[in-house]
Amino acid sequence: MGGNVGYQLDFSVVWDALPSLLWACLGTIGLAVSGMLLAIVIGVGGVMLRDSRFKPARWAVMAFVELIRNTPFLVQIFFIFFALPLIGLRLDPTPTAILALGINGGAYAIEIIRGGVQSIGKGQIEAGLALGLHKAQVFRLIVLKPALRAIFPSLTSQFVLLTLTTSVASAISAYELTSVAQQIESNTFRSFEVYGTITVFYLVMSWLLMRVFDQISRRYFSYPVK
């Protein structure tokens, strides 16, 4: 046994830091939401390029997806962190983290969205056209909702995963829960108390997110399928 015998848990430092920890939770959610929005933009754009007639674009998208999915996010965020200044972009750590999260999430979003679009049968589109609807109407009135329904479960669990991934952004000191916890820890040395507490915060956040998404999916996608 080492020198830790008789160690007393002391959550008072956590209690004192509670306001800043709770604010940092908002930072985490903000990071995740912005990252996810960027990921969806990349996802939609990527799908369009991925299925375009322009072969180099298809290859580029496929390479991007494989590259991102087969390297750690930590390495990606470091790479982006150091690469941005070289192309003349001076971003703070938090926007840099959003960019990295968006790029990482985007690679997964491409696959998810592509699956959703492919799940809509050609017959649905033809039936809409045969009824005299225009292409844009067919997309908006006929394709969109079933496609959203098809991708909703994977896209939302991807969002929860991205929310948990934000903690890695502490490696470049972006503003989010883990970074704030690390500051408190380095001032108080109450490592277990601080990290244990924010682990519970993460758990609550991901649980709440899943509940919210479940409610949304019940409300908007409740039509029966065979």
Partner 1 sequence: MGWNEFAFLLRGLQWTVALSLVGFIGGGVFGLAVALARTSGQPLLERVTAGYIGLFQGTPLLMQLFVVYYGLALIGLKLDAWVAVSIGFTLHASAFLGEIWRGSIQAVPRGQTEAANALSLHYVSRMKDVVLPQAFRISLPATVGFLVQLIKGTSLAAIVGFTELARAGNIVSNQTFKPLLVFAVVGALYFVMCWPLSLYGAHLERRFAAASR
Partner 2 sequence: MAAANASPAPASAQPMIAMRGVEKWYGDYKALTDINLTVASGEKIVLCGPSGSGKSTLIRCINHLEPYSAGEIRVDGTLLGDDRKTIDAVRREVGMVFQQFNLFPHLTVMQNCTLAPMRSRGLGKAQAEAVARRLLDRVKILDQADKFPAQLSGGQQQRVAIARALCMKPKVMLFDEPTSALDPEMVKEVLDTMISLAEDGMTMICVTHEMGFARQVADRVIFMAGGAIVEEGHPAEFFKAPKHERTRKFLGEILGH
The only residue of 16, 134, 196, 212 in contact with partner 2, by rule CB under 8 A: 134
Q: Is 137 in the site for partner 2 (CB under 8 A)?
A: yes
3-state secondary structure of 196: helix
Other CB atoms within 10 A of residue 164 CB: 14
Least distance (Å) between residue 86 CB and partner 1: 7
Residues between 144 and 163 with contacts to partner 1, criterion CB under 8 A: 160
Q: To 5 degrees, how large is the angle CA 84–CA 33–CA 49?
A: 65
DSSP structure string for 35-101: HHHHHHHHHHHHHHHHTSS-HHHHHHHHHHHHHHHTS-HHHHHHHHHHHHHHTT----HHHHHHHHH
168 binds partner 1 per the rule CB under 8 A = yes
Given partner 1, partner 2, none, residue 126, with its beta carbon under 5 to 8 Å by kind, binds: partner 2
Are the C-beta atoms of residues 110 and 42 closer than 8 Å to each other?
yes
Q: Does 62 bind partner 2 (CB under 8 A)?
A: no
Q: Are 173 and 93 in contact (CB under 8 A)?
A: yes
C-alpha to C-alpha distance for 226 and 222, rounded to whole angstroms: 13
Quick check: 146 binds partner 2 (CB under 8 A)? yes
Under the binding rule (CB under 8 A), the answer on residue 129 touching partner 2 is yes
Q: Compute the distance between CA of residue 19 and CA of residue 15 in angstroms, rounded to an integer.
A: 8
**What, of partner 2, partner 1, none, does residue 168 touch, CB below 5 to 8 Å by kind?**
partner 1
| Residue 25 binds partner 1 (CB under 8 A) | no
Q: 170 touches which of partner 2, partner 1, none (CB within 5 to 8 A by kind)?
A: partner 1
**Contact set with partner 2 (CB under 8 A):** 121, 123-124, 126-134, 137, 141-142, 145-146, 149, 223-226
**Contact set with partner 1 (CB under 8 A):** 1-2, 4-5, 7, 9, 66-67, 69-76, 78-79, 82-83, 86, 160, 164-168, 170-171, 178, 191-192, 195-196, 198-199, 202-203, 206-207
